């Protein structure tokens, strides 16, 4: 499931939030949720989960990299997260000689742990409700446009002001984040500490960590060992520091206890993590818009691109390694978009939405409050106005920006202005800079033929969806100079552009000229794309201007309505720390069929297909399976558990999140959601949404028995 | 389930017969002797052996018969009302359908007896009596009146049946047809006196959107939501005896009919099925199974794969081709998948290992018994298979390429006759053969044939066949290609498809304007067709006596296996005679993490509904009934409406339409399919994967009453609440 979005569908699906549905703010737990959680099976006091002034489970849950969650599982800073969260790092360390993606990686001692440049781990030290402070500030602020209430830049300033006023200690590793919630009806400040010396400790081969790959992504039943291990390093004082070989493993203030007791149906479970984004307060028109623009383009454009990429990847292992991560991230939301649209239709989400908004509008009429109706009308008209522009924008985004790696060419503004100035010093400096940027660019796109094939396909795809008269300006050139043959245009880019190949580039660097820059195909193309985006943005500008204000009012209405009904509330996900709770539960994907709440290693053997890379089973794993050499990690009946599902409310960003039992012990790592969560028919199966988790017993089995890394097991606190 | 026929056959067949409770297609006439009635009682049966089958009186057997040519039907009212599957009645429903009265699409409900539609050609057959004639046959062999091989054969057994019939008290009864058949590979023989009724009328059939709901997609699949039933009625003359259709005929007063239980079912409930399973081959040796895999499945997989590749490409390129070839493609891919699945299942389930273990055990047994026949029989079978395998392999290649793959050709016998007539200047014969030729042309170039697509298929298959079959074993056209076309297949195929008389209307017209002997002698397609038939004949000559020899050996082997297993009883391979299988209502787990319930409900119909997909349309009225939960007394206690259920019974094609009976012998369902997982198996072979798919009788009655407004039919029945 990886990052983001999925939620849109969930969310939209069920506003009639049951007690176990919601991405709760930790600060609201005591007041809103603790009683229900205890009733469902939480055995520890809520302040052991989150305590504003003390150490709690929260202090072992970290933001991993940019978009995942990780949990600290040893006193020496060992972090458990998903394989797909560590994927970028594993890839970064991989080469044809050391193919850690294919073979896995296990540091057999601390010296072998590999530093990961650019990777960070972030602790949330404090969470403060600063709504009234921000509102005070906003009142004082003379904002001519009245848009500061959502402006990150403005809120950053307010955060600094607040920290100063409240004497919050700021170190170089401290990060303040003040975010708007509920569309700007509430504000929270997060005080964070960022660690930047993170090292790779262990990763299973992709045939375990990504078993099932694209075919099984979003699917249940699942047998994926989707985990990897990293470690936080700090300076000798235990403070965050940039990489140094003198750094030592962080002595953490809190780490999780691991339970090998396993899970049973209906066991209570909760999950903490950083869900990315969702849109549970959309009106029905916005849902439709989403289906017809973003999801539509994701589905069709990505499908086309992936087909080309896959063909190339199957031909050459080096190409496969280079594009593996790009392909995976594309396929991830390609499938999501398809599933979401299917689900939105079959779940009759639009009907549900309409019923709900009607309820709020009725409430407004009853109270004599016209603001809801006005907000609703505004949003509708905004959506209607921006339809075509948004459709075009998504086509550009998917086909020409995300789709074309070779268009990430270096900026040429500096060299252009230098040449124009005829100032030799400036020219020299600009050439130096361009040379560096060019090196980086050519390193990033080593496979010209793949880029060319993708480029041709993407231009055709784009032209297929956008009528001739609306296309970006480069198509006029393609029409006039290339007789409408976009393939020939792509060929011309690679043949003649200064970024088309290394020789052309070197030649240009030797003798830079304005004339060359002005007529360069790739540069013209890039400008045309930028211009196209700008045009769509301008077309939407007016419509969007009033959206935020209307949305804020609408969300306020929803909050009021729920609170009026004594229903607990939670804001849309925004990559801040949340908690969701529920139960381990099987489900019925269709009449007559039941999906178990757990899977076993037997399932991996059933799916094994040596001819399909997605379902290859490593020989050693098979040996262990056949010998039933499961150590102390097997279930009572002797089978080896792999994954299980819980009915908690997760989304992308929750990837890697710890799954706790009622005692607050770690029982698994969340990594995906199920397809039926999107496609089930809500009228008949109200409860088919599940989060898929790697059973911690499988994780330990792989570390211990498969990798033979028992030194890692020794670091852990394990209860049986 | 017509498909199920061949499929299950072989597979089930391969399953090792360690006679578990669920396995076995038991002979009614051996029930007492084999003590199977005790096993059935242990499983939950509350009836006595005589209630099921009574040689001297009326029993459940008398409410079960053969419906048409290949299905089972059961009597559910004292007025001769028959319940069977929709797919069994399909031919009859289609026969009565026209654009004005499209009963396939809209369903058919006779609101009174005079609206019931006579269906010429449709018969219903009761088993009047079963006699053991083993001793008679053995005596004839001993007296050297016949050879052992002849004893299995149709000619001898038909003659014997007629002789015995002529001497029996049934001789003068109407509608009696005698049939003698070998069992246990010729170790036993039974004579069946059948009573055939030939005035059978169509009474009720749901629309295909109920009776065939799920179509091809759901075929073999569970969970299933198909209302696969139809109803007919037997009419008889004034004396209640079989008679051809007459307006004077009246509904048959049946001596036995099945009471219907709507009390519902629970997991583990006893369930038994009586019916007419078609064919199984459960007593094969390792070598025979390998032969099936290598000489039959493997070449089929390869050749069909190539042909389907060509078809797929052509179908993707043109909608017209897609529609023309849809059914041909599906037909090809059905058994292509089947062959792949079967070979996979044999390996996955270690069928060869289990069979090898059985052979080893048998060798021990033979040695202990010091029985020379038993000691050598498997080796002898292996020897015959070794001899026959190359021929069978070539037969498969030949028939897959030239009979199942390439469609074009010319009826060379007609051409020969025409040539003869031309030589003799026999004008009437010339005219007659030309007329036939014209008809044949239309049947080749029919609406679903595209000469260009077929040309591509031929270009792909001719060289493939050459790679698979040694040069000296190929049809004569390969010489022509070698000599006259320098081995250039494309050139030959183009000539075949462009210049042959039957290539185009133009060529044919030209030929017919002035038919000559020379033109026929030079015709490529005539030579092509002759060559493929010649090769087929050559192969069947090579096979020669091998099948007969194999049959004798099987007789020995099966007798030995039966002895070895004693006291555990054995059952003979299915041969479309009446059998009984008993088991339980039971769910199953098809794979890790997935459980299938033992029943489905109408909820699933709404889930699967898709107005844009013909296979998953739901009739408006049914939808209304489902949404309003207007289920009458047929719903389950929780208010849901059941549709289908699973049982562990051992069935195969031919069992379609069979009654599923509870412990009291009351009707609870109607069998109509088998499940997919029983074929593609688990890592370790698991008999628990095999299930029989049945229609819940409550759904039948619900559709009949609520959708068909046929309350009057329900009034005829005996309903146990």
Cα separation of B679 and B361, whole Å? 26
Interface check for A679 against chain B (CB to CB < 8 A): the answer is: no
Distance between alpha carbon A661 and the CA centroid of its chain, in Å? 25
Cα separation of A385 and A367, whole Å? 30
pLDDT reading at B101 higher than 50: yes
Q: What is the pLDDT of residues B595-651, one digit of tens each?
A: 999 999 999 999 899 888 888 999 999 999 999 999 999 999 999 999 999 999 888
What's the pLDDT at B442? 93
Distance from CA of A3 to the nearest CA of B (A): 26
A655 catalytic, yes or no? yes
pLDDT reading at B226 higher than 70: yes
Cis peptide before A193 (omega within 30 of 0): no
What's the pLDDT at A17? 35
Distance from CA of B589 to the nearest CA of A (A): 9
Low-confidence winner among A7-16, A634-643, B468-477 (lowest mean pLDDT): A7-16
pLDDT band at B679 (very low <50, low <70, confident <90, very high): low
pLDDT band at B524 (very low <50, low <70, confident <90, very high): very high
pLDDT band at A16 (very low <50, low <70, confident <90, very high): very low
For chain B, the maximum distance between any two Cα atoms, rounded to a whole number of angstroms, is 82
What's the pLDDT at A8? 35
What's the pLDDT at A423? 93
Q: Which of B534, B476, B528, B526 is nearest to B501 (CA)?
A: B526
pLDDT reading at A433 higher than 70: yes
Q: What is the pLDDT of residues B552-563, one digit of tens each?
A: 999 999 999 999
pLDDT band at A45 (very low <50, low <70, confident <90, very high): very high
Low-confidence winner among A419-428, A438-447, A669-678 (lowest mean pLDDT): A669-678
Q: What percent of chain B has pLDDT over 90?
A: 77
pLDDT band at B294 (very low <50, low <70, confident <90, very high): very high
Please state the rounded mean pLDDT for residues B36-54: 93
pLDDT reading at A82 higher than 50: yes
Q: What is the mean pLDDT of chain B?
A: 91
Q: What is the pLDDT of residues B428-467, one digit of tens each?
A: 999 999 999 999 999 999 888 999 999 999 999 999 999 9
Q: What percent of chain A has pLDDT over 70?
A: 95
What's the pLDDT at A680? 26
Please state the rounded mean pLDDT for residues B72-80: 98
Low-confidence winner among A507-511, A653-657, A684-688, B655-659 (lowest mean pLDDT): A684-688
Cβ density class A500-516: b for 16+ within 10 Å, e for less:
beeebbeebeeebeeeb
Please state the rounded mean pLDDT for residues B289-309: 93
Name the range with the highest mean pLDDT among B30-39, B670-679, B692-701. B692-701
What's the pLDDT at A341? 82
Please state the rounded mean pLDDT for residues A20-28: 87
Contacts of A406 (CB under 8 A, 6+ apart): A445, A448, A451, A452, A455, A493, A499, A522
Using an 8 Å Cβ cutoff, are B11 and B679 in contact? yes
Distance between alpha carbon A230 and the CA centroid of its chain, in Å? 19
Closest residue to B592, CB basis, from A592, A599, A681? A599
pLDDT band at B8 (very low <50, low <70, confident <90, very high): very low
pLDDT reading at A678 higher than 70: no
pLDDT reading at A319 higher than 90: no
Interface check for B215 against chain A (CB to CB < 8 A): the answer is: no
Using an 8 Å Cβ cutoff, are A92 and A117 in contact? yes
Nearest residue in A to B588, CA atom:
A593
pLDDT reading at B302 higher than 50: yes
Which carries the bigger pLDDT value, residue A650 or residue B390?
B390
Cβ density class A661-676: b for 16+ within 10 Å, e for less:
bbbbbbbbbbbbbbbb
Q: What percent of chain A has pLDDT over 90?
A: 76
Angle, CA of B444, B449 and B452, to the nearest 5°: 110
A611 catalytic, yes or no? no
Q: What is the pLDDT of residues A119-143, one digit of tens each?
A: 999 999 999 999 999 999 999 887 7
What's the pLDDT at A689? 82
Number of Cβ within a 10 Å radius of residue A424: 9
| CA dihedral angle for residue B146, residue B147, residue B152, residue B156, rounded to 10 degrees | -20
Which residue out of B221, B222, B350, B593 would a mutagenesis test of the A interface target, given it has the greatest number of A Cβ atoms within 10 Å?
B593
What's the pLDDT at A679? 34
> What CA–CA distances, in Å, run from B338 to A528, A636, B15, B331, B457?
54, 38, 16, 11, 22
Interface check for A595 against chain B (CB to CB < 8 A): the answer is: yes
Closest residue to B594, CB basis, from A591, A593, A604? A593
Using an 8 Å Cβ cutoff, are B226 and B214 in contact? yes
Interface check for A626 against chain B (CB to CB < 8 A): the answer is: no
Which carries the bigger pLDDT value, residue A73 or residue B104?
A73
What's the pLDDT at A380? 95
Cα separation of A356 and A352, whole Å? 6
Angle, CA of B550, B556 and B557, to the nearest 5°: 85
User: DSSP code of A546?
Assistant: T
pLDDT reading at A660 higher than 70: yes
Q: What is the mean pLDDT of chain A?
A: 91
The interface pTM score, or ipTM, of the predicted complex is 0.76
Closest residue to B597, CB basis, from A594, A596, A684? A594
Q: What is the pLDDT of residues A269-303, one digit of tens each?
A: 999 999 988 888 889 899 889 889 999 999 999 99
Cα separation of B708 and B202, whole Å? 14
For B215-221, which contacts have Cβ atoms below 8 Å and span 24 or more sequence positions? B215/B614, B215/B615, B215/B616, B216/B330, B216/B615, B217/B615, B217/B616, B218/B615, B219/B3, B219/B673, B220/B3, B220/B4, B220/B7, B220/B673, B220/B674, B220/B675, B220/B676, B220/B679, B221/B675, B221/B676
Please state the rounded mean pLDDT for residues A322-326: 81
What's the pLDDT at A144? 67
What's the pLDDT at B690? 82
Query: A621 exposed, middle or buried (CB, 10 Å; 0-12, 13-18, 19+)?
Result: buried
CB contact under 8 A, A220 and B682: no
Please state the rounded mean pLDDT for residues A315-340: 82
Please state the rounded mean pLDDT for residues A157-181: 95
Q: What is the pLDDT of residues A184-208, one digit of tens each?
A: 999 999 999 999 999 999 999 999 9
CB contact under 8 A, B591 and A684: no
Interface check for B603 against chain A (CB to CB < 8 A): the answer is: yes
pLDDT band at B340 (very low <50, low <70, confident <90, very high): confident
Cα separation of A205 and A90, whole Å? 10
Cα separation of B39 and B20, whole Å? 11
What's the pLDDT at A615? 92
The secondary structure of chain A in percent helix, strand, coil, rounded to multiples of 5, reads 50, 15, 35
Name the range with the highest mean pLDDT among A212-221, A468-477, B21-30. A468-477
pLDDT band at B81 (very low <50, low <70, confident <90, very high): very high
Q: Which residues of B touch A591 (CB under 8 A)?
A: 223, 225, 600-601, 603-604, 607
pLDDT band at B113 (very low <50, low <70, confident <90, very high): very high
What's the pLDDT at A5? 32
CB contact under 8 A, B594 and A681: no
Catalytic residue among B87, B225, B445, B554: B87
Phi-psi region of B47 (alpha: psi -120 to 50; beta: other; left: phi over 0): beta
Interface check for B685 against chain A (CB to CB < 8 A): the answer is: no
Phi-psi region of B454 (alpha: psi -120 to 50; beta: other; left: phi over 0): alpha
CB contact under 8 A, A606 and B594: no
Angle, CA of B460, B463 and B469, to the nearest 5°: 130
CB contact under 8 A, A592 and B222: yes
DSSP per-residue string spanning B440-493: HHHHHT-TT--HHHHHHHHHHHHHHHHHHS-GGGS-THHHHHHHHSTT-HHHHH
Query: SS in 3 state form for A563-578?
Result: HHCCCCCCCCCECCCE
Contacts of B441 (CB under 8 A, 6+ apart): B502, B505, B508
pTM: 0.79
Q: What is the pLDDT of residues B461-493, one digit of tens each?
A: 999 999 999 999 999 999 999 999 999 999 999
Please provide the distance, in angstroms rounded to a whole number, between the alpha carbons at the two ends of chain A. Answer: 30
Which residue out of A585, A591, A604 would a mutagenesis test of the B interface target, given it has the greatest number of B Cβ atoms within 10 Å?
A591
Number of Cβ within a 10 Å radius of residue B246: 12
What's the pLDDT at A186? 96
Distance from CA of A670 to the nearest CA of B (A): 18
Cα separation of A319 and A453, whole Å? 13
What's the pLDDT at B700? 98
């Amino acid at each position: 499931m990886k990052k983001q979005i999925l939620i849109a569908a969930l969310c939209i699906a069920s506003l009639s939030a049951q007690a176990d549905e919601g991405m709760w703010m930790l600060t609201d737990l005591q007041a809103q949720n603790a009683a229900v959680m205890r009733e469902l099976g939480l055995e520890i006091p809520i302040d052991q989960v989150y305590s504003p002034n003390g150490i709690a489970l929260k202090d072992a849950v970290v933001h991993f990299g940019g978009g995942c969650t990780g949990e600290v599982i040893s006193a020496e800073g060992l972090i458990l997260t998903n394989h797909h969260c560590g994927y970028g790092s594993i890839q970064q360390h991989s080469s044809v000689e050391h193919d850690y993606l294919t073979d896995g990686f296990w540091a057999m001692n601390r010296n072998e742990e590999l530093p990961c440049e650019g990777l960070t781990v972030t602790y949330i030290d404090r969470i403060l409700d600063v709504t009234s402070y921000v509102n005070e500030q906003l009142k004082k602020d003379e904002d001519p446009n009245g848009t500061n209430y959502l402006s990150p830049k403005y809120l950053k300033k307010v955060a600094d002001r607040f920290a100063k006023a409240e004497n919050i200690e700021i170190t170089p590793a401290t990060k303040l984040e003040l975010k708007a919630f509920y569309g700007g009806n509430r504000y929270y400040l997060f005080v964070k500490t960022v660690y930047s010396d993170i090292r790779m400790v262990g990763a299973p081969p992709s045939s375990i960590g990504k078993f099932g790959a694209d075919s099984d992504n979003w699917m249940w039943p699942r047998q994926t060992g989707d985990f990897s291990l990293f470690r936080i390093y700090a300076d000798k004082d235990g403070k965050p520091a940039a990489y140094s070989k003198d750094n030592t493993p962080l002595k953490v203030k809190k780490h999780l206890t691991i339970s090998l007791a396993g899970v049973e149906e209906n066991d209570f479970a909760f999950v903490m993590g950083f869900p990315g984004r969702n849109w549970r307060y959309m009106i029905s028109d916005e849902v439709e818009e989403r289906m017809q623009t973003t999801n539509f383009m994701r589905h069709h454009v990505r499908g086309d691109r992936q087909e080309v990429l896959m063909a190339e990847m199957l031909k050459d292992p080096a190409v496969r390694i280079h594009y593996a991560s790009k392909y995976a991230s594309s396929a991830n939301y390609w499938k999501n978009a398809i599933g979401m649209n299917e689900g939105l239709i079959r779940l009759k989400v639009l009907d549900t939405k309409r019923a709900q908004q009607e309820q709020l509008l009725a409430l407004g009429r009853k109270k004599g409050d016209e603001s809801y109706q006005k907000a609703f009308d505004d949003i509708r008209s905004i959506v209607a106005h921006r339809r075509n522009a948004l459709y075009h924008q998504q086509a550009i985004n998917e086909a020409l920006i995300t789709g074309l790696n070779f268009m990430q060419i270096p900026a040429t503004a500096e060299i252009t202005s230098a040449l124009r100035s005829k100032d030799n010093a400036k020219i020299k400096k600009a050439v130096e800079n361009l040379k560096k940027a060019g090196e980086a660019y050519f390193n990033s796109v080593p496979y010209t033929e793949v880029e060319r094939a993708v480029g041709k396909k993407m231009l055709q795809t784009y032209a297929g969806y956008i009528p001739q008269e609306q296309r970006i300006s480069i198509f006029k050139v393609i029409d006039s100079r290339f007789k409408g043959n976009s393939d020939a245009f792509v060929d011309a880019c690679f043949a003649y552009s200064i970024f088309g190949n290394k020789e052309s580039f070197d030649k240009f660097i030797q003798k830079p000229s304005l004339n060359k820059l002005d007529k360069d195909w790739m540069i013209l193309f890039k400008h045309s794309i930028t211009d196209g985006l700008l045009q769509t943005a301008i077309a939407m500008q007016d419509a969007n201007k009033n959206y935020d204000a209307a949305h804020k009012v609408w969300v306020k209405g929803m909050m009021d309505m729920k609170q009026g009904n004594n229903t607990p509330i939670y804001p849309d996900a925004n990559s801040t720390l949340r908690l969701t709770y529920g139960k381990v539960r099987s489900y019925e994907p269709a009449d007559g069929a039941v999906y178990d709440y757990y899977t076993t290693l037997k399932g991996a053997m059933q799916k094994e297909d040596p001819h399909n890379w997605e379902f290859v089973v490593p020989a050693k794993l098979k040996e262990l399976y056949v010998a039933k050499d499961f150590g102390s990690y097997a279930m009572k009946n002797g089978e080896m558990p792999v994954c299980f599902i819980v009915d908690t409310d997760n989304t992308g960003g929750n990837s890697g999140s710890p799954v706790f039992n009622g005692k607050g012990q770690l029982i698994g790592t969340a990594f995906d959601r199920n397809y039926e969560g999107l496609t089930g028919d809500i009228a008949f199966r109200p409860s088919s949404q599940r989060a898929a988790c790697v059973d911690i017993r499988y994780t330990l089995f792989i570390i211990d028995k498969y990798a033979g890394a028992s030194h890692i097991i020794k670091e852990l606190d394990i209860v049986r | 389930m017509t498909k199920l026929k061949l499929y299950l056959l072989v597979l089930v067949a391969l399953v090792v017969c360690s006679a578990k409770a669920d396995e076995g297609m038991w002979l009614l006439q051996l029930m007492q002797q084999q003590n199977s009635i005790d096993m059935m009682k242990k499983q939950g049966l509350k009836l006595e052996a005589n209630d099921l089958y009574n040689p001297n009186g009326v029993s459940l057997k008398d409410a079960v018969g053969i419906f048409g040519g290949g299905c089972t039907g059961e009597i559910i009212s004292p007025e001769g009302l028959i319940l069977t599957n929709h797919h069994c009645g399909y031919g009859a429903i289609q026969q009565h359908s026209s654009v004005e009265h499209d009963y396939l699409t809209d369903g058919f409900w006779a609101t009174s007896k005079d609206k019931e539609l006579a269906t010429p050609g449709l018969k219903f057959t009761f088993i009047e009596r079963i006699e053991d004639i083993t001793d008679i046959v053995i005596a004839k062999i001993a007296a050297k009146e016949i050879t052992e091989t002849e004893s299995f054969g149709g000619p001898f057994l038909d003659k014997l049946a007629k002789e015995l019939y002529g001497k029996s008290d049934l001789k003068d009864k109407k509608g009696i047809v005698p049939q003698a058949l070998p069992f246990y590979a010729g170790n036993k023989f039974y004579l069946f006196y059948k009573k055939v009724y030939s005035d059978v009328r169509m009474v009720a059939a749901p629309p295909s959107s109920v009776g065939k709901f799920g179509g091809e997609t759901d075929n073999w699949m569970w969970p299933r939501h198909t209302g696969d039933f139809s109803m007919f009625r037997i009419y008889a003359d004034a004396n209640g005896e079989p008679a051809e259709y007459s307006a004077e005929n009246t509904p048959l007063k049946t001596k036995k009919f099945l009471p219907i239980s709507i009390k519902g079912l629970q997991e583990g409930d006893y369930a038994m099925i009586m019916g007419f399973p078609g064919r199984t081959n459960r007593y094969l040796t390792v070598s025979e199974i390998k032969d099936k895999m290598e000489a039959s499945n493997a070449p089929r997989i390869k050749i069909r794969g190539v042909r389907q590749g060509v078809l797929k490409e052509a179908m993707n390129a043109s909608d017209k081709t897609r529609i023309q070839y849809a059914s041909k493609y599906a037909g090809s891919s059905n058994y292509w998948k089947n062959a792949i699945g079967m070979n996979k299942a044999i390996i996955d389930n270690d069928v060869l290992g289990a069979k090898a273990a059985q052979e080893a055990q048998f060798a021990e047994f033979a040695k202990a018994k010091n029985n020379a026949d038993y000691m050598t029989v498997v080796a002898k079978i292996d020897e015959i298979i070794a001899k026959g395998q190359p021929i069978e392999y070539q037969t498969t290649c030949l028939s897959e390429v030239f009979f199942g793959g390439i469609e074009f050709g010319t009826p060379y016998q007609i051409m020969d006759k025409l040539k003869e007539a031309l030589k003799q200047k026999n004008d009437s014969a010339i005219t007659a053969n030309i007329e036939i030729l014209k008809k044949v042309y239309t049947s080749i170039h029919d609406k679903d044939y595209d000469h260009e697509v077929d040309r591509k298929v031929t270009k792909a298959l001719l060289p493939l066949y050459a790679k698979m079959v040694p040069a000296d074993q190929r049809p004569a056209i390969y010489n022509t290609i070698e000599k006259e076309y320098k081995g250039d297949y494309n050139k030959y195929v183009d000539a075949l498809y462009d210049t042959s008389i039957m290539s185009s209307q133009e060529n044919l017209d030209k030929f017919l304007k002035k038919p000559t002997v020379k033109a026929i002698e030079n015709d490529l397609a005539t030579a092509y067709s002759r060559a493929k038939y010649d090769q087929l004949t050559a192969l069947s000559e090579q096979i020669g006596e091998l099948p007969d020899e194999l049959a004798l050996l099987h007789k020995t082997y099966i007798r030995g296996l039966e002895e070895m297993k004693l006291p555990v009883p054995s059952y003979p391979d299915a041969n479309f005679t009446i059998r009984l299988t008993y088991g339980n209502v039971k769910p199953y787990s098809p794979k890790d993490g997935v459980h299938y319930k033992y029943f489905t409900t109408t909820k699933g119909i709404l889930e699967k509904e898709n107005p844009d997909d013909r296979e998953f349309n739901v009739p408006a009225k049914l939808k209304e009934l489902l949404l309003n939960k207007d289920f009458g007394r047929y719903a389950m206690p929780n208010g849901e409406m059941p549709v289908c259920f699973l049982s562990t019974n051992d069935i195969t094609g031919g069992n379609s339409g069979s009654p599923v009976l509870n412990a009291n012998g009351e009707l609870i369902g109607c069998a109509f399919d088998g499940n997919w997982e029983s074929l593609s198996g688990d890592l370790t072979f698991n008999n628990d994967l095999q299930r029989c798919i049945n229609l819940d009788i409550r759904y039948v009655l619900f559709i009949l009453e609520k959708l068909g407004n046929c309350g009057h039919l329900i009034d005829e029945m005996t309903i146990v609440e």
